[in-house]
Structure 1
Amino acid sequence: MSDINYLWAPPAPVSLPVRGTRARFPVNRLFFVGRNYQAHAREMGTSVDKASMRPVYFTKFAAMLAQSGTLAPYPPETADYHHEMELVVALGEGGFRVSEAAAGRMIFGYACGLDMTRRDLQAVAKAKGNPWDVAKNVEQGAVAGEIVRAEGRILRSGEICLKVNGEERQKGDLADMIWSIPEIIADLSTYYHLQPGDLIYTGTPEGVGPVQPGDHLEGRIEGVGTLDFRIGAPD
């Protein structure tokens, strides 16, 4: 028994269900790739030249994670809350400065995910050259479905789509990603000692847009699964 006298109970570990088992995937860190689909980059007013650029990353606290099926309040301090449907890579092994060829061995599986964004706050931050933290690191603003095991398997294609209240908003294909999964893992591992339990959100296709209280979001990725998320009344 631990003899540490905490002033209050530490937070419970963050975890996700693993399809077909009662085991839970313990979540460590949340990494996000920005502008990994050219059409989405264009709708954000920019473009990506893979030959001269590296992926752009940001992070969210693991405590911000919400499971599929959650009803989350519309967050404060925004009037333009956006959905971004993404493939999530769940790491089962760690690595540092790994090669693209070795990156596959680190994959435990995949999940459907949403990167929810206070877009108006992001626009203000971009204009002023400030960090995006309050725009991206939103409570219950990183959503993930159950993890499907796929040790070592690289997903290179498959439809990714999102409906809001039954209306299709986003539709693309994983083949449209600018940086592939091995490229992302290898590049990210030059900045961090990647660890088991890390989740990597790999970017969103075009069609991002606002949601409102009462909206029902339904996502799907071919070969991975589905995701369900509802927006509640404002906080």
Structure 2
Amino acid sequence: MALRNCPPGHTSRSSCLHNLATCLRDRFKQGGIPSDLDESIDLHQAALALCPPGHSDRSSCLNNLAVGLGDRFRHGGILSDLDEAIDLLQEALVLRPPGHSFRALSLNTLATCLQARFDQRSVLSDLDEAIDLLREALDLCTPGDSLRSLSLHNLATSLQQRFKQRGVRSDLDESIDLRRAALALCPPGHSFRSLSLNNLAISLRDRFNQRGALSDLDEAIDLHQAALALCP
């Protein structure tokens, strides 16, 4: 109804398109109906068309469309959706320079998409770029920042992936340090504590397999046991 009251040329049309697109995407997450996501993407594309270069809402429109395309890639596995999402996020990041309140979030979102493309194509430059972006994101996250735990996890994951490709010990060591820091942000009772325990344990097991230090394996076992205790 609101969109019908905002015909082409109406000053609020872009906002109405965005709101409807967001609701359809939310319904897709609940019901998994692909047509909801497709329509959401179409609406976000229409909203972006109303935000040309220089428009104050362009970065948000770029990001919203990219998120929808990323969802469709995860649902349908179409790489062109992921490629387009990355292009959009790269443009959005340019519009969110250092100091922008959403830059850390944009860095994480783009890095996650680059990680996903690396998983599909194994192009190391995507992984290297993701790591660089996540380092910057982590630098922007002060202690207590809600994005800090996510940045730690994402960077640790990317470094561990790169270690598996190149075998550089420092990547694995740094990954373990980051996972320890992430675990410290998930005290007993935290919803992600079990995941953090398992992630750190897996990294320690990887290092044991490479170097044979039993202390790493012992710690990994303790962590897995602690994680198991949280999963009755």
Q: Fold match, TM over 0.5? A: no
Of Structure 1 and Structure 2, the greater strand share is in 1
The structure with more radius of gyration: 2
Of Structure 1 and Structure 2, the greater helix share is in 2
Larger RCO: Structure 1 or Structure 2 (Cα < 8 Å, ≥ 6 residues apart)?
A: 1
TM-score, length-scaled by structure 2:
0.25
